[in-house]
Amino acid sequence: MDTETTGRHPGIHELLEIGVVITRGDNLALIDSFEVKIKPAHLELAEPEALAINHWSEEAWKDALPHAEAVRLFCEKVRGATPVGWNVAFDRAFLEPAMNRLGIVLDDYSLDYTWRDIKMDFIRWVYLTKQEDKFGPRFSLGSAMREFGISTEDHHHALPDAMATWQMAQRLEEEFKKIM
């Protein structure tokens, strides 16, 4: 999964997009995917660079859902899942409070409390292959995508980044099999 936001601060900024790739837990086979654009309620608080990075425009967001509807849709779609993402603590810092403001807790949708971070798997691979100087200290999704030949087209849109994270998870599983 991936989110795009109006800025970096969960207490101030808002969700703009949620993208989700639903896979099997045992083999990461693709089951479904979806994305939802969210109408920001307080655009005046947005960081201009965040809006630029996320390609925000009135036209692109004209059919966006209200916040509450988008969050409920996300919860329904991922019912029973273990959320997985790249730097997933950032996504969780926006999503879980958004759920809580609507009176939703993770248990309501049988969501696992242990969200998996593919970035941590990548960092482990980097250290095991002794490539810290090449990728550190940021260990960005973009640099990981380039390393494994994963397309960076539409980077900073939620669904393409969620798809890239899913592809990274698959590639890292293959890489770990080679070195373990």
Count structural domains, the chain: 1
Q: What is the CATH number of the domain that holds 119?
A: 3.30.420.10
**How many C-beta atoms surround the C-beta of residue 175 within 10 A?**
16
Q: Kindly report the pTM of this predicted structure.
A: 0.93
Distance CA 73, CA 150 (A): 28
Structure tokens of 3? Answer: 């989110």
Place of tokens 């798809």: 163
Q: How distant is the alpha carbon of residue 71 from its chain centre? A: 14
Q: Looking at beta carbons, which pairs linking 117-122 to residues 24 or more positions away fall under 8 Å?
A: 117/84, 117/85, 117/86, 117/87, 117/88, 117/89, 118/84, 118/85, 118/86, 118/88, 118/165, 118/168, 118/169, 118/172, 119/86, 119/87, 119/88, 119/144, 121/168, 121/169, 121/172, 121/176, 122/168, 122/172
Distance CA 8, CA 40 (A): 14
Name the residue range of residue 133's domain.
2-179
Q: Give the residue, 180 or 63, on which the prediction is more confident.
A: 63
Tens of pLDDT along 14-66?
999 999 999 998 899 999 999 999 999 999 999 999 999 999 999 999 999 99
SS3 content of the chain, % helix, strand, coil (to 5): 45, 15, 40
Question: Is residue 72's pLDDT more than 90?
Answer: yes
Tens of pLDDT along 118-175?
999 999 999 999 999 999 899 999 999 999 999 877 888 999 999 999 999 999 999 9
The H or E element spanning position 116 is strand 116-117
Distance CA 72, CA 60 (A): 21
